[in-house]
A and B are shown apart, each in its own frame.
Chain A
Amino acid sequence: MDGNGEQQARENRQEEYRLLVESIKPKHNLLQNCVNAFLVGGAICLIGQLFLIFYSGQGLGEKEAAAATAGTMVFIGALLTGMGVYDKIGKFAGAGSIVPITGFANSIVAPAMEYKREGFVFGVGAKMFTVAGPVLVYGTLISCIIGIIYFLLQ
């Protein structure tokens, strides 16, 4: 039997089937999804701006006000997730509620809550970081690399 021929025939069959599936697959409503993401993402940032101005008005410096805003938004994201509201927002907003820092809080609370029954160490403690872990890993890694490059270029 010609192994290559067989391989080729299989690939052809797979490609043919892929095209068939593509032709019948319902498409994302891209425009609607983008509008939803824009509105919700924009609204979350608007709320952030409110807090930013509020904290700046309290006499906090630029950095401190930004940090306090981030903390506040994380609190709101965590609370809404706990109350079972954030997943409903997410269903509507898609990336609009994933990209803002509230989405980061959501990705921490959701698995932590879900795995509470598996205990406080391997459940809550470990699962909290299923999504937040990679974010912190790559964030830290890149910031260190940038720092080192900056140090070398100095």
Chain B
Amino acid sequence: MGNKCGEQSVSFSQPLVITSGANIVGPDEGKGPLASYFDLILDDMLFGEKSWETAERKMLEESAKLALRKINLQPQDIDFFLAGDLMNQIISANFAARGLGIPFFGLFGACSTFAEAILLGGILIDGGFARRVLLSSSSHNLSAEKQFRFPVEQGVQRSPTAQWTTTGSGAVVLDAEGDGPRVSKGTVGKVLDLGVTDANNMGAAMAPAAADTILSHFQDTGTSPESYDLIVTGDLGKVGQEALLQLLRQRGCDPGDKVRDCGLLIYDLAAQDMHAGGSGCGCSATVFTGFLLKKLREKEYQNLLFVATGALMSPLSCQQGETIPAVAHAVAVSG
């Protein structure tokens, strides 16, 4: 049986294995520097569907099925399916679960959902409630723009601090045993809010949560930046990453050049017009399942700390002038 360590971290009794990972991305992500790491790159944003929303749920369902197919598993081999997305009432995950027929937990952690799923999946397995779980999260640029910002054909200028919601979905199978990268511990984030109100600067809103979770992780688990080859944050983007580095240094922790960000890895910011970088549940999910898992399997990275961050506002709370609370969950993965 695993145990809780420190204030907010968990340590699994034996490492859990990521036996399979799969992903699907949209056309813009397919033009980015990580294109060769993705399983399927869509030619168009509709994925043969009639709306952005149905396209997103199809991506989520198909990436989950692909993760199973890669290791010859059937849905009935899975004990629980944990998934989430950005849509109201997490419709992408709910509707994908309808198609998969696996006992289901719906999650909402905004862009932190993928790490939240890994943590909870690990807790389910380590607690003896499951042998194998399937985890997934997705986002779709146009369904997110429609829900959170403006209709796509509206002629507006984006703020230079705005992030680009990634079109993509990632899924992993987490198993009590098997071959693959291993998850040994993790840290559950607290919801923090340092008063950022600009929904076009979510990186800045999320950076304090990321800094807090990373520092708590080091403290709770007795690790330090030296324990990891890389610290990969979910999707802070350019502004958020700089804020994170400054916050860490202010609190006496120098991560050197070990910090990377999924939102900055997925696009070529100089060539692609993505402003501050990628965001969305699909961003960290696709970068993790594509790029990071491959590097871990090839042992290029031995140990990494994956810290997915989520901004927890809604269009309504923003219109009411509320500040943006954020959360970050961390998992330690080794190759």
Asked whether any CB of A lies within 8 Å of a CB of B in the complex, the reply is yes
Binding site for B on A (CB under 8 A): 13-14, 17-18, 20-21, 24-28, 33, 81-82, 84, 86-91, 93-94, 97-98, 103, 106-107, 109-111, 113-115, 117
| Distance from B266 Cβ to chain A, minimum over Cβ atoms (Å) | 19
Binding site for A on B (CB under 8 A): 50-51, 146, 150-161, 194-196, 201, 204, 208, 238-239, 242-243, 246-247, 276
Q: Which single member of A21, A24, A84 contacts B196 (CB below 8 Å)? A: A21
| Distance from B152 Cβ to chain A, minimum over Cβ atoms (Å) | 6
CB < 8 Å A-B pair total: 86
Q: A90-B155, A94-B157, A114-B153 are in contact. List 12 more A-B contacts (CB 8 A).
A: A13-B194, A14-B195, A21-B201, A24-B239, A25-B239, A26-B238, A90-B156, A91-B155, A91-B158, A98-B156, A110-B153, A114-B146
- Give Cα distance in the complex from A117 to B50, angstroms: 8
Give the 6 A-B residue pairs with the shortest CB-CB distance, closest first: A90-B155, A14-B195, A114-B151, A110-B154, A110-B153, A110-B151
B160 contacts which chain A residues (CB < 8 A)? 25-28
A81 contacts which chain B residues (CB < 8 A)? 153, 155
Q: Is the CB of A14 within 8 A of B194?
A: yes
- Give Cα distance in the complex from A20 to B247, angstroms: 9
- Give Cα distance in the complex from A53 to B246, angstroms: 59
Q: Is the CB of A17 within 8 A of B151?
A: no
Given A17-B208, A18-B195, A27-B160, A93:B153 Cβ within 8 A: no
Closest chain B residue, CB of each to CB of A14? B195
A97 contacts which chain B residues (CB < 8 A)? 155
B239 contacts which chain A residues (CB < 8 A)? 21, 24-26
Closest chain B residue, CB of each to CB of A92? B157
A94 contacts which chain B residues (CB < 8 A)? 157
A-B contact pairs, 13 of them (CB 8 A): A17-B208, A18-B196, A20-B246, A21-B239, A86-B153, A88-B155, A90-B154, A98-B156, A106-B154, A110-B150, A114-B153, A115-B151, A117-B50
Q: Is the CB of A113 within 8 A of B155?
A: no
Q: Is the CB of A24 within 8 A of B151?
A: no
Q: Which single member of B157, B194, B238 contacts A90 (CB below 8 Å)? A: B157
Given A21-B243, A25-B201, A28-B160, A111:B154 Cβ within 8 A: yes
| Distance from A39 Cβ to chain B, minimum over Cβ atoms (Å) | 14
Closest chain A residue, CB of each to CB of B205? A21
| Distance from B51 Cβ to chain A, minimum over Cβ atoms (Å) | 5
- Give Cα distance in the complex from A146 to B69, angstroms: 69
Closest chain B residue, CB of each to CB of A18? B195
- Give Cα distance in the complex from A24 to B237, angstroms: 12
Q: Is the CB of B204 within 8 A of A84?
A: no
Closest chain A residue, CB of each to CB of B195? A14
B246 contacts which chain A residues (CB < 8 A)? 20, 24
| Distance from B156 Cβ to chain A, minimum over Cβ atoms (Å) | 6
Closest chain B residue, CB of each to CB of A33? B157
| Distance from A125 Cβ to chain B, minimum over Cβ atoms (Å) | 15
A111 contacts which chain B residues (CB < 8 A)? 151, 154
Closest chain B residue, CB of each to CB of A109? B153
Q: Is the CB of A87 within 8 A of B155?
A: yes
Among B157, B161, B242, max chain A CB count under 10 A is at: B157
B196 contacts which chain A residues (CB < 8 A)? 17-18, 21
Q: Is the CB of B195 within 8 A of A110?
A: no
Q: Is the CB of A89 within 8 A of B155?
A: yes
Given A17-B208, A27-B160, A107:B242 Cβ within 8 A: no
B155 contacts which chain A residues (CB < 8 A)? 81, 86-91, 93, 97-98, 103, 106, 110
A82 contacts which chain B residues (CB < 8 A)? 153
- Give Cα distance in the complex from A93 to B239, angstroms: 24
- Give Cα distance in the complex from A22 to B157, angstroms: 20
Q: Which single member of B50, B152, B156, B242 contacts A114 (CB below 8 Å)? A: B152
A26 contacts which chain B residues (CB < 8 A)? 160-161, 238-239, 276
Q: Is the CB of A84 within 8 A of B153?
A: yes
